[in-house]
Amino acid sequence: MNPSAAADRTAYPVGLRLAGRRVVVLGAGQVAQRRLPGLIAAGADIVLVSPSATPSVEAMAEAGELRWERRPYRPGDLDGAWYALIATDDAEANEAASAEAEQRRVWCVRSDDAQAATAWTPATGRSEGVTVAVLTGGDPRRSAAVRDAVVEGLRNGTLAAPRHRDRAPGVALVGGGPGDPDLITVRGRRLLAEADVVIADRLGPRDLLDELPPHVEVIDAAKIPYGRYMAQEAINAALIEHARAGKAVVRLKGGDPFVFGRGMEEVEALAGAGIPCTVVPGISSSISVPGAAGIPVTHRGVAHEFTVVSGHVAPGDPRSLVDWPALARLRGTLVLLMAVERIGAIADVLVENGRDPLTPVAVVQEGTTAAQRRVDATLATAAEVVAAEGIRPPAVIVVGDVVAVGPAQGR
């Protein structure tokens, strides 16, 4: 077959296993600098032939990652090679080395003339043990763009590539963030894409569940039959049951698993059952929801601290672990979660213990979602405003002077 006909053929993709095998690199400029790390990672026995080198390539040689012969190419350099990279600025040397590679049947990449080469280097990228290699027929920029899109998709979970072999058993406890599906972490989204079973909270980012493949079993934690169990015990039992069945299980929770999310209870239950658990932190609604509503929880000259408090137990209740009088004496920002139904009692105890009744209050309902809305009040009027506006959970309540910081349109 003549060379021009061969150039029209599609390249045959293959992965070379070069560990311990001789690879010859001619030239030590920018091209070699980009290609050498991949060859080093592959474990190749690299011989570099070049009179000079870039500082980065020289550092590789000094580190013992390759052998550097400081001279120009000469015939015989490709003896015993499995693979060659020709990247010098000497056209005659490149032609001679290419001819030697053809004679010795050594696969050869040429940086100066791709059509004269017997091999092409694909645009490569790696994510979670997957190597992506893209060839687009001599258009390196397009190859790189396709590679980047695929690698990014694997990293953020928008491109599903679940493991089916050697998948580690266990449960991933994933914080889904405050509600907007774009605010889940990259790792959390990827684990969702690999799941067989997802046990989700009501406050988790629901839109992410619509993206799951049809084979994924989605279980609403609020609808797990409790029977003789308490709700949390039933959820723990479901996690253990599905993990023991060999399924990849994701426990999807709103916000962060360890911020009023009872995440540690689930970790302890899994540990007691001998099931490994991976914890993936999430963006807590305690800071993200105020931020989305234009409220900084700290601000120079206004607040040097913020305190996050659960309002699911009212002040004065014997079960309460909160020192409300002490909180009233603080000058910083107070962020209340699960407090909509008890905001009147909370505001009263704060005022009774020293907080100014005119302290600004903002209530942000369904923060970061399309249904987000914000209403403003003071400690003196908070209960009345919440009732009048029909505020319902989930909502984050911010108490402090930071509420008045920022542009008016954010309110």
Distances (CA, A) of 185 to 53, 191, 275: 41, 10, 23
Which residue out of 201, 253, 256, 348 is catalytically annotated? Answer: 201
Label the pairing between strands 277-280 and 170-175. parallel
Active site residue 253: no
Please tell me the distance from the alpha carbon of residue 213 to that of residue 253, in angstroms, as a whole number.
Answer: 19
Dihedral-angle region of residue 400 (phi above 0 means left; psi in -120 to 50 means alpha; beta otherwise): left
Do residues 377 and 356 touch, judged by C-beta distance below 8 A? Answer: no
Please tell me the distance from the alpha carbon of residue 260 to that of residue 311, in angstroms, as a whole number.
Answer: 10
Which residues lie below 8 Å from residue 21, measured CB to CB, with a gap of 6+?
A: 44, 45, 82, 83
Beta strand residue intervals within 284-394, DSSP E = 306-310, 333-337, 360-365, 373-378
Which residue out of 8, 166, 210, 223 is catalytically annotated? Answer: 223
Closest CA to 172 of 200, 209, 152, 130: 200
Closest CA to 302 of 385, 373, 398: 398
Q: CA 38, 40, 45, 50 torsion: positive or negative?
A: positive
Active site residue 201: yes
Catalytic residues: 201, 223
